[in-house]
A and B are shown apart, each in its own frame.
Chain A
Amino acid sequence: MSQQIYTHVFDNGLTLLAEPIASLESAAFTLLLPAGFVYDRPDRVGVANFTCEMMLRGCGSRDSRAFVNDLDNLGVERGESCAASHMSFSGATRAANLMPTLSIYADLVRRPHLPGDQLEAGRAVVLQELQAIEDDPAHKVMVDLRRRHYGDPWGRPSAGEEATLESADIDELKAYFAQHSRPNGAILAVAGRVDWDATVREVGKLFGDWKPTDVPPPADVVHKRASHHEHHESNQTQIGVAYRSVPYNHPQYFQAWGAVGALSGGMSCRLFTEIRERRGLCYSVYASHHTLLDRGSVLCYAGTSAERAQETLDVLVAELKRLSAGIEPAELDRLKARVKSGLIMQQESSSARSGSIAREHYLLGRVRTLDELSQLVDAVTCASINEYLAANPPRDFVVATLGGAPLELPDGVS
């Protein structure tokens, strides 16, 4: 499959990426703005998320109604979120509507109104996001797991802290926006039926005169990882387990990723087979590799009835420890087959590709083609994974649980 990925860095630091896919009718974009929640002051966690909410309430020549209405008329399927490093804005629509859509988003990240008269409505929205998580135990336990595992600032809850959301005023949000919304460190990726030359030209007009600002990198706080149980009235006990791994840009990333692939992914993987298929302990169980720029982790989840939770945790941790004895060639072959199909399936979705190339550029500083990725995956051997696992056995687990009663923590848990 012929595939070309274009990159252009504007003088102000904005990176533009494009992947033309001629077989699609649609085009999609992902805009990563380096203004995620790690930039919040430690005592004001939630300002970034609240600012993101308020940015959607009118920009440029449009009030909030015109903003939503114009995007709807352009047929844009959109989404936005405030993650650790970036606020993310994305959308997909018919190809001819991409540029008019981007001109609206240029207003959003450069000229939002942040209207004071809508502050209380926005506050109610972000506070209710927190309330909704209270009613979603599987989500809640993973929020707690990240906090216990990563500490501050990378393990913060993305929705923010209630006290901050209650007390922030419009000036604080405006100040956050003014300091953090900037082209340097921002990534705009487009994919689908797009023309590169026209894209560079149009995006240059929309974003070229955006002025860069200096923002110091977020400071890591020394953190002692520790397990935690939280009481929750429910039928099931929720279990989260985390341990350290390597990030995406690490030379042994594909080895670490291969090891997690033996644990979880398809239905023939170890956790699904041992915990669900053989023992019938859970409906939902998984492990996934989670990467930040400079560190990675493996995050695992299982949810089960209170009386079976101890066995589930014990089997889960035993499987994690058993990984250090190595994986089998057949497990790696299945993982490679899944990944290669997955890469080709992505080619059928403009939004999947715009998201992938934007994230990869952030994590790696460049974008690999699918051929390059395919070759890297091919080159991974069972021996190299097992060597990695022998040197880096899963250990020092942090466990977060949510339910009626705490569990006994197996050996090797902090």
Chain B
Amino acid sequence: MEFRKHELANGLSIVAECNPDAHTTATGFFVNTGARDETDEVAGVSHFLEHMMFKGTPTRSADDVNREFDEMGADYNAFTSEENTVYYATVLPENQDRAVGLLADIVRPSLREDDFNTEKQVIIEEIRMYADQPPFGADDKIRARHFAGHPLGRSVLGTVDSVGGLAVDQMRDYFRRRYSPGNMTLVAAGRVDFDRLVGLAERICGGWETVATDRAVPAHASHAGFEALVKDSSAQEYIMQLANGPSATDPERFAAKLLAVIVGDDSGSRMFWELVDSGLAESASLAHHGYQGAGLFMSYLSCDPENAEDNLRRVEEIFCRVEREGVTPAELATAKSKTSSRVVLSGERPRGRLFNVGLNWLNRREYRSVKDDLDAIDGVTVEQIAGVLRRWPLSQTTTVAIGPLATMKAP
């Protein structure tokens, strides 16, 4: 296992974890752009643009793009988050050149107007699909409320109105400003021929024009609040809560992850025993998400509307108690076993390593091996977790509930 890196003259970074024993090669372009880099006028453009990347280039039609990925048997896709857009493919090692060549071509798309208009309908269907599924858009609402004006409060999907109103020139302008080589990283993991990778990137990407890019990382004030939204047709009540946590660059993020496992993992956690095993809730969980300059603890609860207020009070008690008393050494040891095992299992696939290597590079310009992560998990102490809880109390939350309840009281 060897880490390699290189930077082209125009600023494109190339990083890879090369494992000669792997069966496959995973590769992708990680672009440092997402919803947080948008304005109201172009809300949803990052995600819409991600779709448009598969619609063809000056030398390939949309059908060519899809056909060529399928011809090499690639497992490929793309996703957009609040701060990243990622295009990736896993292929057999003999297809490394083809896969990288195709990915490098599609991230310089034609953005033709008729394709733009057709794809706009697909995006609107995607927005409507999520609007029909739990939590029925409450995830966007709570983010906007919690971050109140901060860029991380923006919706990845946008709305039917914002996407419907987008013009193709606005997207072209956003593309030109955000997809500069210095704002992108070519990442690979698994069985990688790194010298070939660099050579190919030099030929295809070396001529890409550099544009100055910037990202606002303003400080984020703490907002707490409570809102209940009514959705009569929903069978269950869904409650989300956000509290501040360590950012993606904070060394305390490992302690935060372990705390979330102890308090709110899907199974075996405090929330599991109190709410799920007992049958009081259909699901109850807590997770930590780190971003650039901010972090979140996000909890999710779904249950019979009748139990909602009582369950929310129980969650609050769990949060307050762990703030008061901390976690036990036995709980921490169990959380370490679970978390380490997950790191090992996901690390066995080049696909799993690709995301780890790529996101570490985007967030911190840092390479971390599987062993580095296992050591970091192993090193977390009970005292460190107590420190995390003092700095970022779980109980100071923004809460949004959605479901059939017409009135709901904050705990």
CB of B268 within 8 A of CB of A72, answer yes
Complex contact A266–B279 (CB within 8 A)? no
**A131/B125 in contact, CB under 8 A:** no
Determine whether the beta carbon of A132 is less than 8 Å from that of B282. yes
A392 close to B (CB within 8 Å):
no
Specify which chain A residues have a CB less than 8 angstroms from the CB of B119 in the assembled complex. Answer: 280
Q: A93 to B344, alpha carbons, bound, how many Å?
A: 8
Q: Are B334 and A73 in contact (CB under 8 A)?
A: yes
A163 within 8 Å of B by Cβ? no
Q: Is the CB of B122 within 8 A of A267?
A: no
Contact (Cβ within 8 A) A123 B63: no
Q: Known: A24-B348, A64-B277, A135-B235. Is A77-B63 also a contact (CB below 8 A)?
A: no
Within 256-278 of B, Cβ neighbours of A (below 8 Å) are at: 267-268, 272-273, 276-278
Chain B residue nearest to A337 in the complex (CB) = B73
A342 to B70, CA, bound (A): 12
Cβ-based interface call for A325 (8 A): no
Is A125 an interface residue, CB under 8 A from the partner?
yes
Report whether A280 and B279 are in contact in the complex, using a CB–CB cutoff of 8 Å: no
| Residue pair A131, B235 in contact (C-beta under 8 Å) | yes
A328 to B360, CA, bound (A): 44
The reply on A236 being an interface residue by CB < 8 A is yes
B118 in contact with A280 (CB, 8 Å)? yes
| Total A residues in contact with B, Cβ cutoff 8 Å | 75
Question: In the bound complex, do residue A337 and residue B66 qualify as a contact, i.e. CB atoms below 8 Å apart?
Answer: no
**Residues B268 and A75 in contact, CB atoms below 8 Å apart:** no
Judge if B148 is at the interface, Cβ distance under 8 Å: no
Q: In whole angstroms, what is the CA distance A129 to B124 when docked?
A: 29
Question: Do B92 and A341 touch across chains, with their CB atoms under 8 A apart?
Answer: yes
- A57-75 interface with B by 8 A CB criterion: 64-65, 68-69, 71-75
A213 within 8 A of B: no
Determine the distance from Cα of A337 to Cα of B126 in the docked complex, in whole angstroms.
29
Say which residue of A24, A135, A338 sits within 8 Å of B70 (CB atoms): A338
State the CA gap A46–B258 with chains docked (Å).
36
A65 surroundings in chain B (CB, below 8 A): 273
- Given A124-B279, A303-B129, decide whether A25 and B73 contact each other with a Cβ distance below 8 A: no
Q: Tell me the nearest residue of chain A to B124, going by C-beta.
A: A305
Residues 345-389 of chain A: 1 if any B CB is under 8 Å from the residue's CB, otherwise 0? Answer: 101111100000000000000000000000000000000000000
CB-based contact B23/A136 at 8 Å: no
Q: Is the pair B304, A128 in contact by a Cβ cutoff of 8 Å?
A: yes
Asked if A333 is at the interface of the complex by the 8 Å CB criterion, the answer is: yes
- Are the C-beta atoms of A276 and B122 separated by less than 8 Å? yes
Alpha-carbon gap, A267 to B68, bound state (A): 10
- Residues of chain B within 8 A of A124, CB atoms compared: 278-280
Q: Which of B130-138, B221-229, B239-247, B389-397 contacts A (4 or more CB under 8 A)?
A: B130-138
B144 at the interface (CB under 8 A from A): no
With an 8 A cutoff between CB atoms, is B384 at the interface?
no
Minimum C-beta distance from A406 to chain B (A):
18
Report the separation of the CA atoms of residues A72 and B269 in the bound assembly, to the nearest whole angstrom. Answer: 10
Asked if B303 lies at the interface with its beta carbon under 8 angstroms from chain A, I say yes
Contacts of B234 in A (CB 8 A): 135
B334 touches A72 (CB 8 A): yes
Q: Chain A contacts of B129 at CB under 8 A?
A: 138, 235-236, 283-284, 303
Contact (Cβ within 8 A) B340 A75: yes
Q: Is the CB of B233 within 8 A of A273?
A: no
The CA of A138 and the CA of B129, in the complex, are separated in Å by 9
* CB atoms of A268 and B66 under 8 A apart: yes
CB-CB nearest in chain B for A234 = B132
Of A75, A267, A305, A344, which one neighbours B23 at CB under 8 angstroms? Answer: A344
Q: A337, B70: Cβ atoms under 8 Å?
A: yes
Return chain A residues, CB-CB under 8 Å to B232: 233
A282 contacts the other chain (Cβ, under 8 Å)?
Answer: yes
Query: For residue B91, which residue of chain A has the nearest CB?
Result: A341
Q: How many whole Å from B62's CB to the nearest CB in chain A?
A: 6
Q: Does A166 contact B (CB under 8 A)?
A: no
Asked if A339 lies at the interface with its beta carbon under 8 angstroms from chain B, I say yes
- For B118, B134, B348, the residue with the greatest tally of chain A CB atoms inside 10 Å of its CB is B348
Asked if B66 and A69 sit within 8 Å, CB to CB, the answer is no
A349-B133 in contact (CB<8A): no
Which of B125, B272, B348 touches A281 (beta carbons < 8 Å)? Answer: B125
User: How far is it, in angstroms, between the C-alpha of A137 and the C-alpha of B75 when the chains are bound?
Assistant: 27
Which of B66, B123, B278, B303 touches A121 (beta carbons < 8 Å)?
B278
Tell me whether A277 and B279 are in contact (CB under 8 A).
no
One of B125, B340, B349 near A305 (C-beta < 8 A) = B125
A197-246 with Cβ < 8 A to chain B: 232-236
Does the CB pair A72–B338 fall under 8 Å?
A: yes
B133 CB to nearest A CB, Å: 6
Alpha-carbon gap, A138 to B130, bound state (A): 11
| Interface contact A283-B125, CB-CB below 8 Å | yes
Asked whether B342 lies within 8 Å of A69 as measured between CB atoms, the reply is no
Tell me whether A128 and B281 are in contact in the complex, defined as CB-CB below 8 angstroms, given that A234-B233, A284-B129 are known contacts: yes
**Residue of B72, B90, B122, B123 contacting most chain A CB atoms (<10 Å):** B122
Given A135-B235, A137-B133, also A125-B279 (CB < 8 A): yes
Contact A26 B133 (CB under 8 A): no
- B267 and A68 form a contact (CB under 8 A): yes
Contact A26 B345 (CB under 8 A): yes
Known: A72-B267, A280-B118. 4 other contacts (CB 8 A): A124-B280, A125-B276, A305-B125, A334-B73
Can you list 15 A-B contacts with CB-CB less than 8 angstroms, sorted by A residue number?
A25-B344, A64-B277, A65-B273, A69-B334, A72-B268, A121-B278, A124-B278, A125-B282, A134-B236, A135-B236, A137-B133, A266-B70, A341-B24, A341-B74, A341-B90
The 3 closest A-B pairs by CB, nearest first: A124-B279, A75-B341, A341-B73
| A residues at B contact (CB < 8 Å) | 1, 23-26, 64-65, 68-69, 71-78, 92-94, 120-125, 128-129, 131-132, 134-138, 232-236, 265-269, 272-273, 276-284, 303-305, 330, 333-334, 337-342, 344-345, 347-351
